[in-house]
Amino acid sequence: MSLVTDEIRASATEMYSGDGICQVKSKFLLTEVGLPNGLLPLKDIEECGYVKETGFVWLKQKNKCDHKFDKIGKLVQYAKEVTAYVEPNRIKKLTGVKVKELLLWINLSEIYVDDPPTGKITFKTPAGLFRTFPVSAFEIDMAAEEVKDKDEVKAAAVEVKEV
- pLDDT tens digit sequence for 105-117: 999 999 999 876 6
Does pLDDT of 154 surpass 80?
Answer: no
Q: Does residue 1 sit within a domain?
A: no
Q: What is the CATH number of the domain that holds 43?
A: 2.30.240
Radius of gyration of the chain (CA): 17
From CA 18, how far away is CA 124, in angstroms rounded? 30
From CA 72, how far away is CA 138, in angstroms rounded? 9
Output the pLDDT for position 32.
93
Show the domain range for 78. 6-162
Q: What's the chain's average pLDDT?
A: 86
- pTM of structure: 0.82
Q: Could you give the C-alpha distances from 37 to 9, 16, 77, 127, 163, in angstroms and in order? A: 24, 18, 17, 26, 37
Q: Does residue 129 sit within a domain?
A: yes
Q: Are 33 and 16 in contact (CB under 8 A)?
A: no
Output the pLDDT for position 163.
42
Q: Does residue 14 sit within a domain?
A: yes
From CA 145, how far away is CA 142, in angstroms rounded? 5
Helix (H, G, I), strand (E, B) or coil at 40: coil
- pLDDT tens for each residue of 33-66: 999 999 999 999 999 999 999 999 999 999 999 9
Q: Does residue 30 sit within a domain?
A: yes
Q: Could you give the C-alpha distances from 46 to 22, 58, 116, 122, 156, in angstroms and in order? A: 8, 11, 30, 28, 22
Q: Does residue 27 sit within a domain?
A: yes
Across-strand partners of 123? 111, 131
Number of domains, the chain:
1
Q: Are 152 and 146 in contact (CB under 8 A)?
A: no
